[in-house]
Structure 1
Amino acid sequence: MRKLALAVVLLLLPVAPASASPGLRFEPCADVPEAGCATLRVPVDRARPDGPQVDLSVARRAATDPSRRIGVLMVNPGGPGGSAAQFAKDAPKLFSTEILARFDIVGHDPRGIGGSSPIYCDTSALGLPHPAGRPDTPERFGAFAAYNRALTEDCRSRTGPVFDRVDAQSAVRDMDDLRKALGEREISYYGMSYGTLYGQKYAERFGRNVRAMVIDSVVDASMPLPGLMEAGARAGEDIFTEFVRWCGDTPSCALHGKDIHALYAELRARAARGDLHVPDLPDQPLTPGELANRTVRHGYAPDFPRMAEYFATLSGQPAAGFGATAASRQSFAVLCQDFSGHPRTAAEVAAVDARVRAAAPTVQASPIWDLALTRCIGWQGPVLNPPTPWQPVKAPQVLMLNSRHDPSTGYENAVNVRRQARGKATLVTYDGTGHGVYRRTPCTRAVTDAYLLGLTAPRDGFHCPAV
């Protein structure tokens, strides 16, 4: 009966003509000829429309049934740093056949990422080693600030003006310029993880241009960095707890019957001493932060068997003898521009770390957001996206998806964001584990497809069972 009702709804849907894409010239993509690729040029700074420009890399998978085409489904996989153009090229691996039939799937690499004037840096040219340890003493804080300032200047000089305009507000204005270039009055949108931030900001600013919006695995942009780190720590601790429970119930787990909390504590201590290396990379030290990061990322799928094997492999490593250190990485200007509350002193770092340890006594880290803390110390660029509650007043009903046990964007984020929306968002909960909900089960796919195709949202508070 439900399938019949959905079929009737789909038959009654209006059909939109294929877009002429007046502002874009699509050619077959070199790597995926079945998709079309184009370039959209936009101002770096909207306050200076005649100033420097940036070229955005765009990809499109045209609707496979043009006679029933609804319109454009704009997509973003998150990150920050994920390629939305590649996400669109890979659409047949991601979306149902009915979604592919009725939508042009379009993605563009956000400015500063992938094919859209990516940020370039050369850490070897700085003349400074990457600081070791945590910036929780005045000396180490000063070393991080000096390193980050040098790195920022290097990245800015190599990347150009776009380096200081890679924030979410600039990104959503690019999205609307893309909508116009595609010749569309409105768009549908699917964003996952950091892509939910872009979706939220677009719904606030351009709500009248939204037909439908799905935000999957939700970022809560209403909090400054310390709150995000504490919430991220709780999410990491939750996934570790789920892993320990699974391992205790699963005889095939490589750590079945062992005291996993004690083992992890020992691994953290060894990482802090410089006694561990990244598996299969004996020249690369494994820091406590990277240990936490890899732990959490094993929870994305989730892949608990591999998590157990990873811990077992580390436990069996001989002492590497690096000494306490930290690996050098590129600067990530997106995080520094999108979030406020970056620590200004070593004491503030120590206070945030104490909150994180209290929230995650085993993992003792907020790996997703710790990157923003360490890389943005000493930040002297703009902060263009201050934290505010989400208010999609002019947008249609938004569909939110989140796992009950999400290692990155914890469930509390989705609950908070739904509350901020004041009735403009419907939350669907997947009662399982992992990051990214749409493709989890037939239930999650059916609920999302019914909404995108027929604008039929389930009741708020709907749950899909874990599998």
Structure 2
Amino acid sequence: MTLKTHRLLTAALAGIVLSAVAAAPGSAAPVSADRTSAAESKRVDAVPTPKLGWYKCYEIAECATVRLPLDYDQPRGATTEIAVLRVRARDQRHKIGSLFLNPGGPGGSATEFARYAPEFLSDSLLDRFDIVGVDPRGIGASANVRCFKSVKDQTAVLDLFNVPFPVTRAEEQRYVRGSKLLGRACSTTGRPLTGAMSTAEVARDMDVMRRAVGDKKLNYLGFSYGSALGQYYANMFPDRFRALTVDGVLTPTAWVGNTRQILDERLRSSDGAYRALIEILRRCDRAGEKYCVFAAGDPVRNFETIARRLRAEPIQLPDGEGGTFTVTYAIFVSAILGALYGTDAGEVVTEISAEVWAALQGGSTAALTARARAARASRQGYDFPYENGFEATSAVICTDGRHPADAGSWPAATARRDRQAPYFGRAWGWIDSQCAHKMWTVQDEDAYRGPFNRRTVAPVLVVGNFWDPATNYRGAVASSRLLPNSRLLSSNNWGHTAYGSGVCATTAIDNYLLTGKPPAKGTVCTDSAQPFTEPLPPPGEVATLSSPTGKQRPPVATVNPESPLLPQK
């Protein structure tokens, strides 16, 4: 099975405060802003500005690689190779600067994301910015982290993670064993890179690359985990950006966490997913069978019946090639979670539920079988070359945060989360079991763990949508409260992240990046497509959703479990 891609010193020097401008008599004194600390300035500014040897690549882009310090405390010591890709602004005469992108993950390739930017970014941004993607260290086209000496050694461990998430005691035992082996491998064979992949190091790399492309101030748009990178940069370099947007927001204090809680207990991703699912099922019920394919009876109760029966016994489906597809409880839940990532979440969640319900009731399995076949056809197994997605994701999560000591504590912790957020507590809860610090012993001594409440010179735009199944909306609210000079933009769209889901949110983000002026305080976008507003199409016809912005949605990288019922994106 493939798993999708799926610290600054602890006591940092205080930021130097800008001199306050004298206030007019009777007016409130202006609030001063923070500056980059002396410690952080010493680290990054000691690195000479790299000379980028651009060459033409992918027909529309330019590529380059540079070597940056493995340890910024030793700027002339060991290095690691970093890849960068640029799509030049279409209107060079009126160019504002460069717009750095990050697609999330952690483990997503920013160079690949920037390469496809013309497909999802608005024309106004493509006209005025060079679009830049810098692959985080260890990831994508940058020098890759490898925790195993060979694909054979890697496969022996990853085969222990051969379910979307463990449910039975036997599956949990295998998963715990795999987690321990992966933690040990990344703490030994994976070094030294695994000890230098924290988000703080990527933020430092980005600041150096900002200089390399000739920008005095950074412009940044980060999605999902890329929101953590953006907030790290804003707090480490509070005076070095012009405009910075984070969309689909992880609260950095929760990301860092403590040794008592697993990651989902802090981020509450499963809470957001459960809230979105129940809202869909209730809206389906209200809409009725003319609008929702799963509306007959009580959708909430019927969904729980599906889950209960699959926990007791999986469904076996013929694959048309003499074999079978098996639909387990974990496969069903991971398919539902994957469906919640799309703006068409309502329709896809209820379609999958209706197909599984029909199979369990002795009805036709044709639709479910066709879905499983399409998903299988979209997947390509790998043996060669070495694929490091899970290791790259893990290296960031495990070095950024504090985690419980023993992977053996995850079964109880994820069961607790599943009681609080049914179906998804286990699905989200197991993503960091390899980080248990008894086995994941490698750390980044220069990882950043706060503060995350610096007053930045320029405003930060924090974007959250109500029904996000991965980055709970409360994360955007909490992050906006942490950052004194930030503005919260809320959206009613479905799926993961808001950009491209509706004209309102997309235009608000575009305008902020172009002008540096955030939308009005309290702005809530309510123009996104909502489920069950159109009658179901006749049998044999497939409903299609047109893009409200005329562009694709950003291909954000995430760590949710893959499901054999959904095509690989």
TM range (shorter): 0.7 to 0.9
For residues 214 and 515 of structure 2, the distance between their equivalents in structure 1, rounded to whole angstroms, comes to: 22
- What amino acid maps onto 2:64 in structure 1? A
Which is worse superposed, 278-287 or 425-434? 278-287
Preserved contact between residue 102 and residue 113 of structure 2 (Cα < 8 Å) = yes
What are the within-5 Å matches in structure 2 for residues 174-185 of structure 1? 174-185=205-216
Provide the residue aligned with 1:44 in structure 2: 70
1:155 Cα deviation from its structure 2 partner = 4.9
Provide the residue aligned with 2:421 in structure 1: 360
Preserved contact between residue 217 and residue 437 of structure 1 (Cα < 8 Å) = yes
Preserved contact between residue 85 and residue 106 of structure 1 (Cα < 8 Å) = yes
Provide the residue aligned with 1:229 in structure 2: 265
* Aligned-partner SS, 1:264: helix
1:159 Cα deviation from its structure 2 partner = 5.0
- What amino acid maps onto 2:273 in structure 1? G
Cα 1:129–1:273 shift into 2, 3 Å: farther
Provide the residue aligned with 1:56 in structure 2: 82
For residues 40 and 286 of structure 1, the distance between their equivalents in structure 2, rounded to whole angstroms, comes to: 46
1:336 is the counterpart of 2:398: yes
- What amino acid maps onto 2:338 in structure 1? R
Which is worse superposed, 198-207 or 153-162? 153-162
Cα 1:286–1:391 shift into 2, 3 Å: farther
Provide the residue aligned with 1:86 in structure 2: 112
Provide the residue aligned with 1:380 in structure 2: 441
What are the within-5 Å matches in structure 2 for residues 101-180 of structure 1? 101-120=127-146, 121=148, 122=151, 123-126=154-157, 129-130=160-161, 144-155=175-186, 161-180=192-211
- What amino acid maps onto 2:270 in structure 1? A
Q: Select the residue among 310, 314, 317 that pairs with 2:352.
A: 310
1:180 Cα deviation from its structure 2 partner = 2.0
What are the within-5 Å matches in structure 2 for residues 203-214 of structure 1? 203-214=234-245
Provide the residue aligned with 2:454 in structure 1: 392
* Aligned-partner SS, 1:222: helix
Provide the residue aligned with 1:97 in structure 2: 123
For residues 260 and 127 of structure 1, the distance between their equivalents in structure 2, rounded to whole angstroms, comes to: 36
Preserved contact between residue 232 and residue 367 of structure 1 (Cα < 8 Å) = no
1:445 Cα deviation from its structure 2 partner = 2.1
For residues 170 and 277 of structure 1, the distance between their equivalents in structure 2, rounded to whole angstroms, comes to: 47
Provide the residue aligned with 2:513 in structure 1: 452
* Aligned-partner SS, 1:407: coil
Which is worse superposed, 193-202 or 35-44? 35-44
Cα 1:140–1:238 shift into 2, 3 Å: closer
- What amino acid maps onto 1:193 in structure 2? S
For residues 118 and 258 of structure 1, the distance between their equivalents in structure 2, rounded to whole angstroms, comes to: 51
Provide the residue aligned with 1:241 in structure 2: 278
Preserved contact between residue 469 and residue 495 of structure 2 (Cα < 8 Å) = yes
Which is worse superposed, 75-84 or 255-264? 255-264
Provide the residue aligned with 1:27 in structure 2: 55
For residues 300 and 177 of structure 2, the distance between their equivalents in structure 1, rounded to whole angstroms, comes to: 37
What are the within-5 Å matches in structure 2 for residues 312-327 of structure 1? 312-316=354-358
For residues 274 and 101 of structure 1, the distance between their equivalents in structure 2, rounded to whole angstroms, comes to: 55
Preserved contact between residue 284 and residue 295 of structure 2 (Cα < 8 Å) = yes
**More RCO (CA 8 Å, sep 6+):** 2
For residues 270 and 57 of structure 1, the distance between their equivalents in structure 2, rounded to whole angstroms, comes to: 48
- What amino acid maps onto 2:51 in structure 1? G
Which is worse superposed, 406-415 or 453-462? 453-462
Provide the residue aligned with 1:292 in structure 2: 333
- What amino acid maps onto 1:402 in structure 2? G
Q: Percent identity?
A: 27
Cα 1:366–1:393 shift into 2, 3 Å: farther
Preserved contact between residue 314 and residue 328 of structure 2 (Cα < 8 Å) = no
**Which structure 1 segments of 5+ residues have no match?**
1-20, 320-328
- What amino acid maps onto 1:311 in structure 2? S
Cα 1:441–1:398 shift into 2, 3 Å: same
Provide the residue aligned with 1:261 in structure 2: 300
For residues 171-209 of structure 1, the C-alpha deviation after alignment (integer angstroms, 9 at most, x for no partner) is: 111111211221221110000110000000011111221
- What amino acid maps onto 2:214 in structure 1? G
- What amino acid maps onto 1:43 in structure 2? P
For residues 45-101 of structure 1, the C-alpha deviation after alignment (integer angstroms, 9 at most, x for no partner) is: 223444432212211111111110111110111111221111111111122112111
Preserved contact between residue 117 and residue 159 of structure 1 (Cα < 8 Å) = no
Provide the residue aligned with 1:370 in structure 2: 430
Cα 1:61–1:84 shift into 2, 3 Å: same
Q: Select the residue among 436, 445, 448 that pairs with 2:497.
A: 436
For residues 294-318 of structure 1, the C-alpha deviation after alignment (integer angstroms, 9 at most, x for no partner) is: 3222122232222222223334558
Cα 1:255–1:191 shift into 2, 3 Å: same
Preserved contact between residue 488 and residue 523 of structure 2 (Cα < 8 Å) = yes
Q: Structure 1-normalised TM-score?
A: 0.82
For residues 430 and 319 of structure 2, the distance between their equivalents in structure 1, rounded to whole angstroms, comes to: 25
**Which structure 2 segments of 5+ residues have no match?**
1-48, 363-388, 529-569
* RMSD of aligned Cα (Å): 3.4
1:111 Cα deviation from its structure 2 partner = 1.5
1:371 Cα deviation from its structure 2 partner = 0.8
- What amino acid maps onto 1:257 in structure 2? A
Cα 1:44–1:465 shift into 2, 3 Å: same
Cα 1:140–1:440 shift into 2, 3 Å: closer
Preserved contact between residue 193 and residue 216 of structure 1 (Cα < 8 Å) = yes
For residues 136 and 421 of structure 1, the distance between their equivalents in structure 2, rounded to whole angstroms, comes to: 42
- What amino acid maps onto 1:312 in structure 2? A
1:268 Cα deviation from its structure 2 partner = 3.3
Preserved contact between residue 60 and residue 104 of structure 1 (Cα < 8 Å) = yes
